[in-house]
Amino acid sequence: MADAAIELVGISKSFGPVKANRDIHLEVRRGTIHGIIGENGAGKSTLMSILYGFYQADSGEIRVGGKPVPIRTPNDAIALGIGMVHQHFMLVENFTVLENIILGAEGEALLGRSIAKARSELARLEREYGLEVDPDALIEDLPVGLQQRVEILKALYRGADILILDEPTGVLTPSEADHLFRILNQLKDQGKTVVLITHKLREIMAITDTVSVMRQGTIVATRETSETTVEELAELMVGRRVLLRVEKEPARAGAIKLEVKNLTVKDGRGVTMVDDVSFIVQAGEIVGIAGVAGNGQSELIEAIAGIRRAEFGTVVLDDKPIDVTGRADPAELRERGLAHVPEDRHHVGLVLAFAENENSILGYHYESLYLKGPFLNIDAIVADAEDKIEKYDIRPPNARLRTANFSGGNQQKIVLAREMEQDPGVLIVGQPTRGVDVGAIEFIHKRLIAMRDAGKAVLLISVELDEIRSLSDRILVMFDGRVVGERGPEATEGELGLLMAGVEAKEAAE
């Protein structure tokens, strides 16, 4: 058995009354990929933030290479060969790849010499680990998969032998995730140690050597991955048996609630991202849109929701048109019964500096429930937020806590609760379970099916093919801005994959 790269002994950490970590004992073997899984709020990210020096434990000891070490700041961790790739990337968007990689590690007063040295080292790392990326590209111009490579390169450039990745596939397409796993295996083959925090049990089974399960701030089990199952891990995470498949009756589709006709949308660069797209969504059905990220799905739902102007086309909501080529008003659409769960919760769905109860009414603050005369009724807002917290199991259950202090999955549940509890006639939901744990995924899927069964029309966008196939009554596949095929939920992953790759529908069916 390999020796321990990291040992955490008796680690505890509290934030006021919330005990995030309780007497944690964890050993990570050198040269392995060690998975850490648990529900949202189980304490995974807090534990890794302690290891990386963002937080200091209230008690306990960290050992690296068998020796007790103080880690008070990220610089201490970096000096010990520990690097971290965060769930939400720590990159300066208007800097180049090279500038981001050397930022904080310039090394010399003469920046020109530092850049030349870094360019040479970056080329070596790219060759050695298959992490090719244009060093002169601006971060803002790179897709998220390449931005993640930059984060990994930053850690390797600083000499990381131990690499922590927090929810690394939460923003990646399946093909990007597969490439990431090839990189991680290559890092392991080179003797690096990888700690992988994820909610996705199939990824744990596919990539890790060992997995530790956290629940309510403690580690409840550690297993050799080859000796466990998805079902056992799910039960350990949640503390009960979890239904890993979606159970639903056949859809009873009714009247057309949403109709999109010949919609064309361009992005900020003037590039056509949605090209003459038409479809309908009926009451009592879920229509899923599958496709590799960047093929127009995001621009499509933004145009329907009124937050991006379309160049051409018509959108009809409950037999009344939406002015998508002029100035569609998202507030007016909400009043007409259209709710929107955006794909990007941080930039579009939430104001992270606001308290949870404030985010729970964003866009609906004008409703009489939340008002006392011309003023906001704070007591009513907090009571309503606390009700949503209980219904959606948002953790910690504190309606006055700043939203930035919730985990990514709990932030997602705040957005879902806000939109779904409005009882909309049409729900547009983008990436509903991104960064959400297995127990919460089960809950969200049941809520979406319940909305469908109550006669609501649901338009679902997800890069998770399993999710699309499990939830959808009809599946539309987008490629290069166009709908290239429609399939039923019985379609295989291979068939949908061919359509997503641009293979003609006739060929995909053969």
Is 97:139 a contact under the CB 8 Å cutoff? yes
- pLDDT score, position 212: 97
The pLDDT value recorded for residue 30 is 95
CA 231, chain centre distance (Å)? 22
Strand ranges (E), 389-430: 426-430
Q: What's the token pair of residue 37?
A: 């899984």
In this predicted structure, what is the pLDDT of residue 111?
61
Amino acid 112: pLDDT: 62
SS3 content of the chain, % helix, strand, coil (to 5): 35, 25, 35
Q: What angle do helix axes 408-420 and 438-453 make, rounded to 10 degrees? A: 10
In sign, the C-alpha dihedral spanning 109, 112, 117, 121 is positive
The predicted pLDDT at position 1 comes to: 41
- CA 494, 497, 502, 504 dihedral sign is positive
Give, as one character, the DSSP assignment of residue 56. Answer: -
Chain centroid, CA 58 distance in Å = 30
Determine the Cα–Cα distance for residues 87 and 170; give it in Å rounded to an integer: 8
- Tell me the backbone φ, ψ of residue 165, rounded to 5 degrees: -120, 120
What's the rounded Cα separation, in Å, for the pair 441 and 238?
12
Residues of the chain with pLDDT under 50: 1, 505-506, 508-509
The 3-state secondary structure of 181-247 reads HHHHHHHHHCCCEEEEECCCHHHHHHHCCEEEEEECCEEEEEEEHHHCCHHHHHHHHHCCCCCCCCC
How far is residue 404's CA from residue 385's CA, in Å, rounded to a whole number? 16
* Nearest-10 crossing angle of helices 408-420, 378-392: 110
Of the candidates 395, 397, 362, 396, which has an alpha carbon nearest to the alpha carbon of residue 381? 362
H/E element, 166: strand 162-166
77 in helix, strand or coil?
helix
For helices 438-453 and 230-238, give the axis angle rounded to 10 degrees.
90
b/e string for 445-454 if b means 16 or more Cβ within 10 A?
Answer: bebbbebbee
Please report the beta strands in 328-413, taking only residues with DSSP state E, as ranges in sequence order: 338-341, 371-372, 375-376
Q: How far is CA 117 from CA 109, 112, 369, 392, in A?
A: 13, 9, 61, 51
| Residue 169 confidence (pLDDT) | 79
User: Do residues 474 and 451 make contact, with C-beta atoms less than 8 angstroms apart?
Assistant: no
Region(s) of the chain under CATH 3.40.50.300: 4-238, 256-337+424-509
Alpha-carbon distance of 325 to 309, in angstroms, equals 5
Give the CATH number of domain 4-238: 3.40.50.300
Beta strands in 75-127 (DSSP E): 82-85
d(CA 497, CA 20): 40
What CATH architecture applies to the domain 256-337+424-509?
A: 3-Layer(aba) Sandwich (3.40)
Structure confidence by residue, pLDDT tens digits, 293-341: 778 999 999 999 999 999 999 999 999 999 999 878 899 999 999 999 9
Sign of torsion, CA 156 160 162 166? negative
